[in-house]
Every structure is written in C-alpha cells, then in structure tokens.
C-alpha cells in the first residue's frame, strides 16, 4: 500500500489484509491489475523483466512483488511500503525470497529520491500512486527510472460507489481506521485519465497510454484505469 498522508505516526494500514495473511501464504500464480483481481491483463504489461530492477510502490504484503520475483527472473524486485504493519506481514510471508525480493519499509517518495537512475520498471497496483500527492511522487519516480524505464500504475477509474473521478489533481478523503480501531480518514487521488496524462507529462514522462478495464458488479465494484508511461531515452541492453 501507499504513503499515509493524514499523519506521519499512525499506521492507517494496520488492519488491512490481516484475514488473508492468516490463511493464504502462497506466492500468487498470477499478477493482475484490476480492482476485482480476477481478470484483465497480467505481468506482460511490464515488459520483459529478465535481469531487470523492478520496484513496487506501495507493495502492501508484497504479493505482486513475490510473484514477479518467483516467476519472471528479474535481477531484483524492491517492494516499498510506508506501513510498518504491511512491511511486517510481507517479511513474514516472503522474507525467504531474499535477495531477489527486497522488502523496504519507507515512505515511497523518500525512497525514490535516494534511488536516482536505478529502476528499469516501477509499478503501483492501487498502491502509493493512489495515496501520495502526484506532484511529489511522479517526478521522483521519473528520476528513479533509468532512461527508457517504464512506469505502470493501476488506479480507480471512478470512486467506489460510482461517483466520477476528479477532473483536476485533487484528493478525496476516504475512511480508515487507526491501529486501535478509531475511525479516521486518509487521502486518495481518484483522477480522470486526462488528469493522469497531464501530471505524467509534467513530471517528464513520455509515451503515455491509458486503458479502462471494466469492473464487476456490486456496491464496491469499480473500473480500473491502467496507465503506462516511460522516462525518455534509450533503455540499457
């Protein structure tokens, strides 16, 4: 998951994923981008990862990162998450996949600042890109990629419940819980595709493309916006 923007001390991701953590310890056999996690394109969107350095921005329990480390022969996958609770779950589940999988407990923007020209591929599956000010995160992501490097993100195409995505780069306040169960809120950026395109262009990306992936049915069903962009330049061989 992503950077908590409401407070720097309270882990608002403390409760997320705990039920699954207790019952599902396997490395996933598939890498899916959609909100429903049951259809759509898979890891091929990231390109050939053989020998590449890959970063998961807001990795949560690192299930997507573990899949890539096991099934796609990268040089390494670095899974970054600001939540101590999510990092602890990821370490318990997949710490044994080191050194190919490296688990980092850090604010994602701070991590990227320290990793200039490091990554061949960065991705976010409803992760840090959703929960971090894009004016801060996207330029640091561009700088952390090597020339020709690729950023792929999946994000909500509209708010849960059906309200349309924002037409400018503003956040919404969504419900969350503190570790002791008290109700609070955190920020989430749910933006229309042309807004993401403008933000990515302004951050220095090129070859920006978007695709809307249909969701299922039900009160929490949502379409997914899949966005791909590249840092200018020629990739290393």
Say yes or no to pLDDT of 6 above 90.
no
Say yes or no to pLDDT of 155 above 90.
yes
Q: Within a domain: residue 12?
A: no
68-105 pLDDT per residue, tens: 999 999 999 999 999 999 999 999 999 999 999 999 99
182-192 pLDDT per residue, tens: 999 999 999 99
Q: Within a domain: residue 119?
A: yes
Q: Assign 12 a pLDDT band (cuts: 50, 70, 90).
A: confident
Q: Assign 136 a pLDDT band (cuts: 50, 70, 90).
A: very high
Print the domain residue range for 57.
Answer: 18-97+104-230
Say yes or no to pLDDT of 206 above 50.
yes
Q: Within a domain: residue 142?
A: yes
Q: What angle do CA 225, 218, 171 make, to 5 degrees?
A: 45
Q: Within a domain: residue 84?
A: yes
Q: Within a domain: residue 209?
A: yes
* CATH code of residue 47: 3.40.50.150
Q: Within a domain: residue 2?
A: no
- Number of domains present in the structure of the chain: 1
The whole-number pLDDT of residue 4 equals 37
Secondary structure (DSSP) of 133-184: -HHHHHHHHHHHEEEEEEEEEEEESB-TTSPBPBSSS--EEEEEE-TT--EE
The whole-number pLDDT of residue 1 equals 45
Q: Within a domain: residue 172?
A: yes
> Which pTM value belongs to this model?
0.92
Pair 95, 69: CB distance under 8 Å = no
The whole-number pLDDT of residue 236 equals 67
Rounded Cα gap, residues 34 and 25, in angstroms: 21
Q: What percent of the chain has pLDDT over 90?
A: 77
Q: Within a domain: residue 169?
A: yes
């Amino acid at each position: 998951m992503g950077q908590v923007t409401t407070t720097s001390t309270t882990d608002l991701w403390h409760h997320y994923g705990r039920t699954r953590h207790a019952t599902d310890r396997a490395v996933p056999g598939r890498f899916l981008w959609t909100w429903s996690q049951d259809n759509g394109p898979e890891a091929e969107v990231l390109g050939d990862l053989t020998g590449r350095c890959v970063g998961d921005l807001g990795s949560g329990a690192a299930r997507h990162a573990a899949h890539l480390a096991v099934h796609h022969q990268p040089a390494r996958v670095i899974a970054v998450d600001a939540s101590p609770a999510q990092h602890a779950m990821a370490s318990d589940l997949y710490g044994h996949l080191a050194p190919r999988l490296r688990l980092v407990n850090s604010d994602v923007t701070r991590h990227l600042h320290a990793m200039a020209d490091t990554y061949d591929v960065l991705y976010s599956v409803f992760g840090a890109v959703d929960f971090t000010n894009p004016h801060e995160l996207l330029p640091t992501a561009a700088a952390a990629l090597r020339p020709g490097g690729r950023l792929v993100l999946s994000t909500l195409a509209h708010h849960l419940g059906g309200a349309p995505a924002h037409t400018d780069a503003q956040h919404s306040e969504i419900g969350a819980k503190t570790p002791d169960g008290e109700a609070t809120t955190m920020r989430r950026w749910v933006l229309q595709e042309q807004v993401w395109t403008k933000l990515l262009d302004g951050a220095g990306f090129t070859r920006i493309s978007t695709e809307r992936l249909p969701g299922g049915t039900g009160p929490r069903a949502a379409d997914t916006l899949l966005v791909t962009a590249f840092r200018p330049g020629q990739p290393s061989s």
